[in-house]
Structure 1
Amino acid sequence: MKILPLLGAMAMALLSCHAEGRFPVGINLGQNSDYTPMFPFADAMKNARGWARVDKRYEAGGVSLNPQGWPLEDAAIVINASVPDLAGTYQLKFRGPASVSAPDGGKIEDYQYDSGTRVSTARVVVPEGQALLSLAFQQTEGGVTDVELLRDLPADGPFTKAFLESLKPFGTLRFMDWMRINGSKQVSWADRTTVESAVWTRPNGVPIEICIDLCNKLHADAWFCIPHLADEGYIREFARLVKAKLDPGLKVYVEYSNELWNFQFPQTNYFKAQATEAFDARVRAGEMEESRRNQDLYAMLWDMEAQSAARALKIFRDEFADNARLIPVIGSQSANSYITKSYLRSGVLDGVVAAVAIAPYFGHFLGSKKEADRTLAEGIEGVFARLGEDIDTSNKKAIDSNAAIAAEKNLRLVAYEGGQHLTPSSGDKERDKQLNELFIAANRDPRMGDLYKRAAANWAAAGGGEFVYYSHVSAYGMSGYWGLIENMQQTSTPKLDAVKAIAGGNFTTSDKK
C-alpha cells in the first residue's frame, strides 16, 4: 500500500471539513468527586466522598452499608471539600428519622419527619465563602437511605443546566475518568455503579446509564472504556445497554481500558506481571533467553494486551453487528509509535479496531528535573517559545509516525486525549512551587490558545480525526493544569476559546489575524 497518497486523502477530507466550518472536537470529563469544581449533578450527594463514622467523617469507610451503599447505622459524609461557591440553600430529603447536623458549617432548618412515609426533609443553608460541606446523621433507627441534597441551581433531569451548557461545544464525550477506569477492580456486571447507588464517585464512578443520558441530552457521541478485568458477561451487558439506550444517531467509540502502555497505571502492571510470568516460564523451558528479557518480555506484553483488547472489542462488535456507528479503537503511546506497531503486528486486531487512538500532548518535559532550571530562567517567554518548538518538531513527528502506521492498516487516527502537558516535576519543592506559578500563568495566557490552534493544524494536516481534549474542568495546581476551564463560572478562557474556534474549523492564531 502507498501510504503518502492515503494520508493525503485523509488530510484533504479533514480540510474539507474545515472549509464547511466544522472539525471533530471532543472532551474528557474529569473524575466526579467531592473536590471537583464541576457540579455536574443536581443532587450533590452524587459527588459525595462516601459514608464514614461520625467522628471520622473525612475518612470514608468504617460503617456498615446496604447493597446500594446506604449506611445501616449513624454516619457522616463529606459532600464537597476545597470547592468554592458552595453557598446556597439546599433541599434535603431522605428515608428514616435522624438528628441532622452540618459539622463543617451551615445550618439545618425546618427539619420535618413524616412517620407514615418515614421521609425526612429539611433545608441546608450554606453561607458565602464556605468551601467544605458535610452532613452527619445521628440518632437514626438503623441508618438512612435515599438521601437527596438538591443544589440551589437550575437543573435538567439529573444534571445542572450550567454543566450541560458548558459541554455544548463538544461533539464527543469520553468517560474514562468519570467511570474511574484506571485501576478499576470491576469484574462482573454486578460490580458496577448503578443509578440507585448512594454515591457516583468511588470506587466505580458514574453509572453507564447516566453517561448515556448525558450524551442523549447533548446529542454528543460517546467514548467508553472497558475495565481491564471485566469478564465476558460484563462486557456483553455493557454493549447491550449502550446499543439499547444511546440515541441511534450517535457514534460509539469503545476502547479497552486506558493507556495500557503506561506503567503509572495498575492495569499496565497487571499485564506486565502476566507477561513476566510467561516469559520466565519460557526461559526455564529453554524457549527464550534471559539475555533478551528487555526485548522479548515487552514484545509479549504488547501482544498480550492486543489479544485482550481484541477479545473485549469483539464482544462489542458482536452485539452491534455491522452497525457503522461503533468505532472500536486501540489506544497507544503518541511519543512511541513502536508500541503502535507492536499492537498491530500480529494481526489479532485486524477487522476488530477501526482506529488508532493516541494522546499528542505537548510540553511535558519543561517541568522535569533536567529542564526546570532553564525553564525558570527563561520565564514565560521561554515557555511559549519551547512549547511552539515542541509542537512543530517532536509532537508533529509523533503524530505523522502514528498516522503512517494507522494508514498501513487502513485505520483512522484519533486522539483520546491531548493538549498542553505542563507539570512541575523537578523533585525540588521550592522549584516546583515556582514552576507551578509559571505554568498557571502560561495556561491563562492568550498565547496558550494560539498554541492549541497551531497543534490542531498539524493534527489536521496529518489526517487526524476526532480530537478529544483533556480535560473539561479542573482546578490548577501541582497536579497539572488540565481543564479548559478552572471552574463552572468561567465561560471564556484562552484554551476554551481556542478549542471552540478549532471546532468551527478556525486555526488562525492571533499573530496572523
Structure 2
Amino acid sequence: MKAMANYRTISTFFMAGLALVLSAQLQAKMPLGMNTNEVTPQDASAPFIDLFKMSLPFDESKRLTKGYIEYDENGWPSNLKGGVAGSNVVHWIPAGTIPDGNYTVLYDGEGQITYGDDARAVHSAQGRDVVQVRAGADKWIKITLVIRKSNPQNYIRNIRFLLPGGICANNPFQRVNSAAQCPGNFQSFEKYHQHLLFNPDYLNFMRRFKVIRMMNISGITRNEVASWNALPRMEQATWAGEEGRRGVPLEVMVKLANKLNATPWFNIPQEADDNLIRNYAQYVKKHLRPGIKPYVEYTNEAWNRAFSSAHYTKAMGLKQRLDVDRAQAGHKFYVKRSLEIFRIWQQVYGSHQPFTRVLGGWAANPRLTPILLSYMNAHQHVDAFAIAPYFFVHARNLHQVRSVPDVFKVLKDPKNPYSMDNVYNMLKRQKAETDKYKVKLIAYEGGQHLADMGAKSTKKGANPFLIGANRANPMETFYVEFLNNWKQITGDQLFVAFSAPRPPQWFGSWGIKEHLNQPDSKAPKYRALKRFF
C-alpha cells in the first residue's frame, strides 16, 4: 500500500507539471552548454576511441602493479625488474556505456600483456591483441590489463585499447560495426584512431550543446601546474590519474570544440605563469576554428574552500598585501589575476572582442558579487559574471526525506533554503547586482544538487531517495521549470549544465545521464534539456 501511495504521489507531481513540460516545447530555444567530466577509469562519458587514455596510471595501480618498476617520461614501465605493471583501463562503468565486442589492443615493444575482469584475449600476436569485452552479470564493466613480460631494451609502450568498429567518413557522430555499413568510406578505429580521437557516441551526446566547459577534462582542480611545459601532453600513457596529475592536453580540448563546432570554455590553472597564459592564448588563436569565440575564466570557484584555488588566491592576496583580511585578500587577488589574464589574451588577439571574459561568483552569496565587480573596476573589463545555481535539499532538511516523493515536496518547501523558489530569489538578487554593473549573468554550472554528504554511501541516509528522485519523471518537470525561470530572470542567457554522463555516487547524482548511452526514457534531466535545444 505504501508503494502504491508513493507511486500516486509521484504521478500527481508528474501530471501537475505536464502542462509546464508541454508549454516548454512551444518556447524559443535557449543557449545551453555542458560541463565535461574528469578523465578517470570511472568516466561513464567515455570520450575517447582509445580507452587507455582514461586508464589508471601504472604507478597508481597499487592492486595490479607489483615490484620496483622503472618508468619512462611518459609513464610507460621501462623496466619491470622482475615485477608486473597493471592498470584499470575502465573501472565500474555501467553496462552499455561502451559496446560489448572485440576490442583491438595495439602496442609497441616486446613482451606479454594479459587481461582480466570483463576482458579476455581471444587472439594474440606481437604488437596486437584482440580482446573480448562483455559486461558482467552485475551490469558493470571492469577491464584490467597487466604487463607480465617486457624487454627492457624494447619495452612495451604506446598501448592503445580501441573500441570495436569505426565510422563512415561522412558521419563522425555514429559508430558502426564494420565496412558493410558504409558505402565505401569506412574508417576503422584500428587504423584511424589517432585522426578520429573521439568516441562517436560521446560526440553525438555533446553535439547539441552550444558551449562545452572544459574545466573538468582539463584537470585544473587542485592542480599546481604553473608552466607551459608542465601541461598534459599527447604522448603521455594516460591522461587520467589523481587530482593535480590528470587532464587532457589543450590540443584535445581545441580538437573537441572544432569537431563539434561548439564554443569552448577554458579555465586557466590557478598557478599559471604569464608564459603559460600567453602560449595558451596563442595556441587557441592559431588552432581554434575561425569564428568561434571562446570563454576564458581564471581557475574555478576561487571562493570555495573545498578547492585549492581558494587557499592559493587567499595566500597570494595576503602576500601581495591586497587586504589584511584573508577572505577579502583572496577575492581581490582573484579579480586582479583574472584581469591580468584577460590583458594577456587581449595582447595575443589584438582585442578583447574575439573571446569572452568571465568572472566567477557564488550563486548563494549575492553580497560577494559587487565586491568582485567593483574591485579595480573589474566590471569594465569583463563580459560575463558566472554563477552556479543549484536547487537541493539542505542538510538540515534531510530528515524530512523518507521517500522519493518527499524529495520533491522539500524542493518546494520555502523552509528549505535551497528550494526552487528560494533559488529563484537568489537569481533575482544576482541579476539586480550584475545589472548595476551592466554585465551579463550566465551559469557555469547548475541544476539539482541532491546529496546526503554525511552518509558516505549511495545506500545509506537519504541518498537512496535522492538518487531515486533523479531517476523519477517529476525531475524532468522540475528541470523544465528551473530552466524556464532561468530564462525569464536572466533574459535568456547561457546555462551550462552539470555534467556529462556519470552514474550516481554518494556525493551526488551529477550526470545528466547515468552513462553515455542511457536511453532518454530513463534520463529525465536530459529529456528536460532537450526541450530547450
> How far does residue 274 in structure 1 lie from its aligned partner after superposition?
3.7
Q: Larger deviation: 298-307 or 249-258? A: 298-307
Letter in 2 for 1:124: V
Aligned ranges 1:407-422 → 2 under 5 Å: 407-422=435-450
Q: Which whole-Å deviations, capped at 9, do the CAs of 1:382-438 have from their partners, x for residues lacking one?
A: 32133235455321121112212212221111100000011112x356897141110
Give the SS at the match of 1:45.
helix
Is residue 316 of structure 1 aligned with residue 345 of structure 2?
yes
Which secondary structure does the structure 1 equivalent of 2:229 belong to? helix
Q: CA deviation at 1:52?
A: 3.3
Identity between Structure 1 and Structure 2 (%)? 27
Aligned to 1:121: 128
- Taking the aligned partners of 2:270 and 2:69, their CA distance within structure 1 comes to 29
| Unaligned segments of structure 2, at least 5 residues | 1-23, 173-195
Mapping for residues 416-495 of structure 1, pairs under 5 Å:
416-425=444-453, 427=454, 433-464=460-491, 465-492=493-520, 493-495=523-525
Amino acid at match of 2:434: A
**Residues 26, 170 of structure 1: 8 Å contact kept:** yes
What runs of 5+ residues in structure 1 fail to find an aligned partner? 1-16, 114-119, 283-287, 289-295, 504-513
Q: CA deviation at 1:63?
A: 3.6
Paired position in structure 1 for 2:110: 97
Q: Is the Cα–Cα contact under 8 Å of residues 108 and 123 in structure 1 kept in the other structure?
A: yes
TM-score of the aligned structures, taking structure 1 as reference length: 0.84
Name 2:427's counterpart in structure 1: 399
| Correspondence for 2:215 among 156, 172, 176 | 176
Q: Which residue of 2 aligns with 1:3?
A: none
Decide whether the 8 Å contact of 1:314 with 1:352 is kept in 2. no
Asked if 1:372 is matched to 2:398, the reply is yes
- 1:277 Cα deviation from its structure 2 partner: 5.8
User: Would the aligned equivalents of 1:36 and 1:474 in 2 still touch at CA under 8 Å?
Assistant: yes
Shift of 1:112: 2.2
**Paired residues of 2:385 and 2:434 also in contact (CA < 8 A):** yes
1:196 paired residue number: 235
8 Å CA contact 2:56, 2:240 repeated in 1: yes
SS of residue in 2 equivalent to 1:300: helix
Aligned position for 1:76:
86
Partner of 2:162: 150
Deviations 1:209-236 (A, max 9, x none): 1111111111111111000011111111
The aligned residue for residue 281 of structure 2 is 239
1:509 aligns with none
| Distance in 2 (alpha carbons) for counterparts of 1:93 and 1:256 | 39
Note closer, same or farther for the CA distance 1:110–1:424 as it changes in structure 2 (3 Å cut): same
CA distance in 1, matches of 2:370, 2:510: 29
Alignment of 1:6-405 (within 5 A): 21-52=28-59, 56-57=63-64, 63-74=69-80, 75-85=85-95, 87-104=100-117, 106-113=119-126, 120-129=127-136, 131-142=141-152, 143-154=155-166, 156=172, 157-202=196-241, 203-275=245-317, 296-322=325-351, 324-365=353-394, 368=395, 370-376=396-402, 379-389=403-413, 390=418, 392-405=420-433
What is the distance in 2 between the residues matched to 1:459 and 1:138? 55
State how far apart, in whole Å, the 1-side matches of 2:333 and 2:61 are.
46
Q: Distance in 1 between matches of 2:27 and 2:36?
A: 27
- Cα distance in 1 between the residues matched to 2:252 and 2:53: 11
In structure 1, give the amino acid aligned to 2:336: Q
Q: Secondary structure at the match of 1:353?
A: coil
| Alpha-carbon shift at residue 321 of structure 1 (Å) | 2.3
Q: 1:150 Cα deviation (Å)?
A: 0.6
Task: Quote the offset at 1:185 in angstroms.
Answer: 1.6
Instruction: After superposition, give the CA deviation of every residue in 1:483-511 in whole Å (9 maximum; x if it has no partner).
Output: 110012214121101011123xxxxxxxx
- The one-letter code matched in structure 2 to 1:394 is N
Partner amino acid, structure 2, of 1:238: Y
Stretch moving more, 270-279 or 99-108 = 270-279
* Preserved CA contact (<8 Å) 1:310 1:348: no
Q: Distance in 2 between matches of 1:220 and 1:253?
A: 11
Q: Equivalents in 1 of 2:423, 2:369: separation in Å?
A: 16
Residues 84, 380 of structure 1: alpha-carbon distance in 2 compared, 3 angstrom cutoff: closer
155-164 or 353-362: which moved more? 155-164
**Paired positions, count:** 461
Q: What residue is the counterpart of 1:9 in the other structure?
A: none
Root mean square deviation of aligned Cα: 2.6
Q: Take 1:214 and 1:37, find their aligned partners in 2: how far apart are those partners?
A: 17
1:232 and 1:55 mapped to 2: Cα distance?
37
The verdict on how the C-alpha distance between 1:220 and 1:18 changes in structure 2, with shifts beyond 3 A counting, is: farther
The answer as to whether partners of 2:55 and 2:89 remain within 8 angstroms in 1 is yes
Matched, 1:496 2:526: yes
CA–CA separation in structure 2 for the residues paired with 1:100 and 1:112: 11
Match for 2:255: what amino acid? D
